Structure 1
């Protein structure tokens, strides 16, 4: 298959499969924070705000995806990568009581993005004490995932160290940008108009597997489903004793499986018994990182 690398880009860059899904969901409700990814870093000591602003700007220059919007051209969205010259970061220091910083960060994370016009990145800086600061960053999932946040924080700190020393970060340019990956993915998957393409074969397979899946699993719930999804939920914590965990690991090993697959099978069986149907579909989030 084609090698993932830097390629010549067309005048209109399409979205990747994952970006298309994120764009579709975002345009249903641009105020929703469901796909916002927050990051907060506490900074102690004398802080050079100007250097930090420059460092955040360095990171936006380095990663095209953080300065990409997704407007509609004709009938379809496109990737519009913002110019480096348009990257301007202003970190106005906001004074906050230390007890209120978490509430403020949550409020930051709860503000939505309209990815057709908003770059999927924003940053705020809060002073919570003498030489105590919190840098709060929010990125939309169309540009990053959970695994992106540690490298993002590291890049900011590397750039800040260079700026404080009066220089610029000396990192090597990225081998590929996300737009390069998008074009590579399109080439690998092929066109839906070609019945022999990878994407056509995948669509045919999953359309058959999911053909008769019920819209709603008839579970014996204790209250009716709301007419509009609220995204509100709760967490129930429990412990699995060590002897049961070890038994599950032995079972997984016996069938060349994983602990996840064994627990997934148990969940499917439970849902089948509760609902009285064998047509069980369980959605599982994955990183989808098939390439570096």
Structure 2
């Protein structure tokens, strides 16, 4: 059985501890004009899911340890749902769908729904659990989807070369490099020992000034407008500061 990466283990543990939830849902929303060919899009999505095994992986448990199982291209393909709605209600529909919880043991980490608004076009929602995606991966997903759609639209299959590495290969490489926490000589054990020593005496909780300190919180959202260069500026600033724009 293939283990999970250490980042995946954390997400899996939270999902088991708190139950199926939407905290780590990553929605990708694309709006199309009225000329979208729905059957072509469905075929293109099937191509993308077949190409990327992590999009059709479920995460079970054996002997108290999580493991990943890659489903076949057909079995692992998410349902492609088309829902008719008006332009006035599509935003609420998208939000409701994007908040649907994932149970990582039984649910595929990708859900798909297309909201059709007739002459006003349609909205595609890809709801992906964070265990199978991140900010960088979203660009790969959309790029491959666009390429597959373009190929299928003219009656061809995408001209991709097979991927030399899948995410499951990375997890095995990570385990091989870091070793096991049970082995005191492993790189993982030595790094843990270093940081335990470096952080000895540090406060157990970092206290930030807040009027809501100590209260339980639930995920929420904030909406606003950003200028088009904001993502580039954010990445540049983070690179200068040696930090990341991602918060997990």
TM-score with structure 2 length normalisation?
A: 0.85
Q: Which residue of 2 aligns with 1:109?
A: 98
Distance in 2, Cα, partners of 1:229 & 1:16: 27
Matches within 5 A, 1:134-213: 134-213=123-202
Note the C-alpha offset of 1:223.
Answer: 4.4
Tell me if structure 2 keeps the 8 A contact 1:53–1:90: no
Q: Which residue of 1 aligns with 2:219?
A: 231
Note the C-alpha offset of 1:215.
Answer: 3.4
Mapped pair 1:64 → 2:53: yes
- Matched residue SS, 1:119: coil
- Matched residue SS, 1:162: helix
Could you say which structure has the larger radius of gyration? 1
Residue number among 249, 260, 279 corresponding to 2:241 in the alignment: 260
- Matched residue SS, 2:117: strand
Q: Deviations over 1:36-86 (max 9, x none)?
A: 111111111322222211111111110000000000012101010001231
Matches within 5 A, 1:20-169: 20-130=9-119, 132-169=121-158
Note the C-alpha offset of 1:147.
Answer: 0.9
Gapped regions of structure 1 (runs ≥ 5): 1-11, 238-257, 265-283
Distance in 1, Cα, partners of 2:134 & 2:207: 32
Distance in 1, Cα, partners of 2:207 & 2:36: 56
Give the CA RMSD over aligned residues.
2.6
- Matched residue SS, 1:155: helix
1:223–1:195 CA distance, 2 compared to 1 (3 A): closer
Give structure 1 regions of 4+ aligned residues with deviation exceeding 6 angstroms: 233-237
Note the C-alpha offset of 1:260.
Answer: 1.9
- Matched residue SS, 1:124: strand
1:85–1:94 CA distance, 2 compared to 1 (3 A): closer
Note the C-alpha offset of 1:236.
Answer: 11
Note the C-alpha offset of 1:162.
Answer: 1.6
Work out the number of aligned pairs and report it: 235
Matches within 5 A, 1:277-288: none
Q: Which residue of 2 aligns with 1:4?
A: none
Tell me if structure 1 keeps the 8 A contact 2:20–2:104: no
1:259–1:58 CA distance, 2 compared to 1 (3 A): closer
Distance in 1, Cα, partners of 2:5 & 2:151: 34
Distance in 2, Cα, partners of 1:89 & 1:67: 8
- Matched residue SS, 1:188: helix
- Matched residue SS, 1:137: strand
